[in-house]
Amino acid sequence: MPGKIRAVIVDDEPLARQGIRGFLSGDPSVKLVGECRDGVDAIKFFSDHTADLLFLDIQMPEVNGFEVLESISPPRMIVFVTAYDKYAVEAFNVHAFDYLLKPIDPDRFTEALNRAKTEFGRDRRRDGKSKLLPLLSAMRAHEGRPERLVVRAAGRMHFLPTSEVDWIEAAGDYAYLHVKGKKILHRETMHELEQRLAPGNFCRIHRSTIVNLSRIKELQPLTHGEGILHLRDGTRLDVSRTYRQRLVALLSF
């Protein structure tokens, strides 16, 4: 028998949090384990905690709901809470995510919660992040590429403009951002970063390396289609045969 559903509310509006809290309070199968007042608070919370169900506001200042999801290991069940946005609602429908429109209708909330309960009783080993990726890709395409990354370092949240990143190095399931001679560990995979960053500004040159095109000084061809990339700060990076043709095309544009 599964235990209680551990739920978290993330919303910058106190009345919205209060409303969701009230709806949940009468259901003995749900335990509210956290409330976050904004996106920064949410990222901090999920760095130390987990949950089964997330009620997530999209339109929040500083860090929006999609940036939160790109920065955490998300719960398997997510209910988006939003003021009406036609494109977002269509995207949620296409990718089978539930949503609530503000002001929240009690019957609609009950419907969403019942769906979450049904999902909770299914295979709990499924990865929430893999289900999210198509939705996040669709929203990025609609909203444009991000101009910053949310980075956690020394217990703090930093908002790093992507233009400041010189190059990126794979580190297992994470990556090192090289910024002005410093290495910053960032909790996204190389594939996720490659999908997020604007292709006109960044290019993957190796399975373990992404480079900011504006930092390139020289490309030195080698045999067998490989190469050495020289950056303006003196850094030398290997270019694999797989990615060299695409790099040359971008540099020639």
What is the distance of C-alpha 147 from the center of its chain?
A: 13
Q: How far is CA 125 from CA 3, 43, 122, 131, 177, in A?
A: 15, 22, 9, 12, 31
Comparing 211 with 148, which gets the higher pLDDT?
211
Query: Quick one: pLDDT at residue 121?
Result: 81
Task: Provide the percentage of residues in the chain whose pLDDT is more than 70.
Answer: 93
Q: What does the pLDDT look like over 82-132, one tens digit per residue?
A: 887 787 888 888 888 999 999 999 999 999 999 999 988 876 655 667 788
Farthest CA pair distance, the chain: 69
State how far the Cα of 148 lies from the Cα of 131, in Å rounded to an integer: 24
227-231, strands of its sheet edge to edge: 216-221, 227-231, 236-239
Domain locations along the chain: 5-143, 148-252
Which among 101, 100, 130 has a CA at the least distance from the CA of 115? 100
Q: What is the mean pLDDT of residues 229-249?
A: 93
Q: What is the mean pLDDT of residues 66-77?
A: 88
Query: Quick one: pLDDT at residue 175?
Result: 95
**Sign of the CA dihedral with 81 first, then 22, 131, and 243 last:** positive
> Which range has the worst mean pLDDT, 9-18, 156-165, 231-240?
156-165
Query: Quick one: pLDDT at residue 2?
Result: 64
CATH class of the structural domain 148-252: mainly beta
Query: Quick one: pLDDT at residue 17?
Result: 96
* Fold assignment, 5-143: Rossmann fold (3.40.50)
Phi, psi angle pair for 161, to nearest 5°: -60, 135
Six token digits for residue 62 = 């500083």
State how far the Cα of 172 lies from the Cα of 161, in Å rounded to an integer: 23
Paired strand residues for 211? 167, 203
* 63 in Cβ contact with 43 (< 8 Å): yes
> Which range has the worst mean pLDDT, 153-157, 184-188, 247-251?
153-157
- pTM for the model stands at 0.70
Comparing 200 with 108, which gets the higher pLDDT?
108
The DSSP line for 220-239 is EE-GGG-EEEEETTS-EEEE
Q: What does the pLDDT look like over 21-53, one tens digit per residue?
A: 999 998 999 999 999 999 989 999 998 999 999
Strand, helix or coil at 157? Answer: strand
State how far the Cα of 80 lies from the Cα of 82, in Å rounded to an integer: 6
Comparing 175 with 63, which gets the higher pLDDT?
175
Token look-up 């955490």 returns: 72
